[in-house]
Amino acid sequence: MAVYFNDQFVSNEEAKLHVADLSLQRGYAVFDFFRTVNGVPLFMDDHLDRFYASAAGLYMTINKNREELKAIVQELLQRSSLSEAGIRLMLTGGYSADSYHSMTPNLIITCNPAKTATADDFEKGYSVITYEHQRQLPHIKSINYLVAVWLQPLLKEKGADDVLYHYNNIITEFPRSNVFIVTADNILVTPARNILYGITRKHVLSLAAGYLPVEERDITLPELMNATEVFLTSTTKKIIPVLHIDNNTIGNGKPGPVTRELYRQLTTLQTNLAANEQNCH
């Protein structure tokens, strides 16, 4: 697979960072990730907005404008010949002489086959556990997944699919996904603060606004456990029902009607976006 690395296209084997890079020395880097459907990038402008915002949040400058990044992505897609691809943009802190102060950032863009959740995954749903933790600088999409990776043995021990963070009795997010609940009075609620604002989250909120009342606010752990439906959203998982939390069954233990309808709407939206883009070309 081809990789874009600092102004040139190289092979995977040639894309190498020096050991002095702050991403290796201090975990100082940002990234974003989006996928394609039939060769068409989904919500690319939204992801680029967040990529630039994350870079600015860590005081790094991307030396390419939006149109240049789009051209690079298209070139990678052509070179890969992948119809279902995952595009990862990464900006690192650069090669630091003292392993502490950031320097000229390194820009890396990769294109690889994307593994996405299936309709069967939706029907099966997730069993998750909760864990008290607040990510650093949660509004920035950094490469810091230290706690999430550290918790993998616990997830395996518990037979859980993922972990939902909470702090001071308020739920926030999954390591790689946003969370939504449906209350007993049929209101869709999602956390408003101390989270990464997901792109799929944004579009689900937009779709839901025409379907039922929506609120962005704090959600307590007891409210989570008493929800009639819970689901998560992300680029690769799309929408996955959460059916069990800490051995508590949510609703009747099956995907609920709101979750199912939003899944249908999101799938239709993504399919239509890809088809419309193809027709334009």
Domain count, the chain: 2
CATH number of the domain at 38, please.
Answer: 3.30.470.10
The verdict on 93 and 148 lying in the same domain is: no
The verdict on 155 and 175 lying in the same domain is: yes
User: Which backbone phi and psi does 275 adopt, to 5 degrees?
Assistant: -65, -40
| pLDDT means over runs of 10, the chain (281 residues) | 94 93 97 95 97 98 97 96 94 96 96 96 98 98 98 98 98 98 98 98 97 97 98 98 97 97 97 78 55
Provide the pLDDT for residue 279: 62
Other Cβ atoms within 10 Å of 207 Cβ, number: 17
Phi-psi region of 197 (alpha: psi -120 to 50; beta: other; left: phi over 0): beta
Choose one of 79, 113, 147: the last residue of a domain.
113
Exposure string of 225-262, with b = 16+ CB inside 10 Å and e = fewer, is eebbbbbbbbbebbbbbbbbbeeeebbeeebbebbbeb
Tokens 């069954």 belong to which residue?
249
* C-alpha 235, offset from chain centre: 5
Host domain of residue 223: 119-270
Does residue 280 fall inside a structural domain? no
Nearest to 1 by CA among 61, 55, 64, 77: 77
The verdict on 258 and 133 lying in the same domain is: yes
Does residue 279 fall inside a structural domain? no
Give the Cα separation of 84 and 78 in Å (integer): 12
The verdict on 197 and 266 lying in the same domain is: yes
The 8-class DSSP code of residue 157 comes to: H
Choose one of 94, 113, 132: the last residue of a domain.
113
- At 86, which amino acid appears? G
Nearest to 270 by CA among 117, 144, 160: 117
Does residue 281 fall inside a structural domain? no
Does residue 276 fall inside a structural domain? no
CATH number of the domain at 255, please.
Answer: 3.20.10.10
Q: Token pair for residue 111?
A: 């294109």
- Count of residues in the chain: 281
Provide the pLDDT for residue 278: 62
The verdict on 171 and 252 lying in the same domain is: yes
Largest distance between two CA atoms of the chain: 58
β-pair type (229-234, 248-249):
unpaired
Choose one of 97, 113, 129: the last residue of a domain.
113
The verdict on 95 and 159 lying in the same domain is: no
The verdict on 135 and 266 lying in the same domain is: yes
The verdict on 107 and 124 lying in the same domain is: no
The verdict on 165 and 95 lying in the same domain is: no
The verdict on 229 and 185 lying in the same domain is: yes
Does residue 275 fall inside a structural domain? no
Q: Which residues are catalytic?
A: 141
Does residue 35 fall inside a structural domain? yes
Provide the pLDDT for residue 83: 85
Does residue 195 fall inside a structural domain? yes
Does residue 211 fall inside a structural domain? yes
The verdict on 59 and 168 lying in the same domain is: no
The verdict on 55 and 123 lying in the same domain is: no
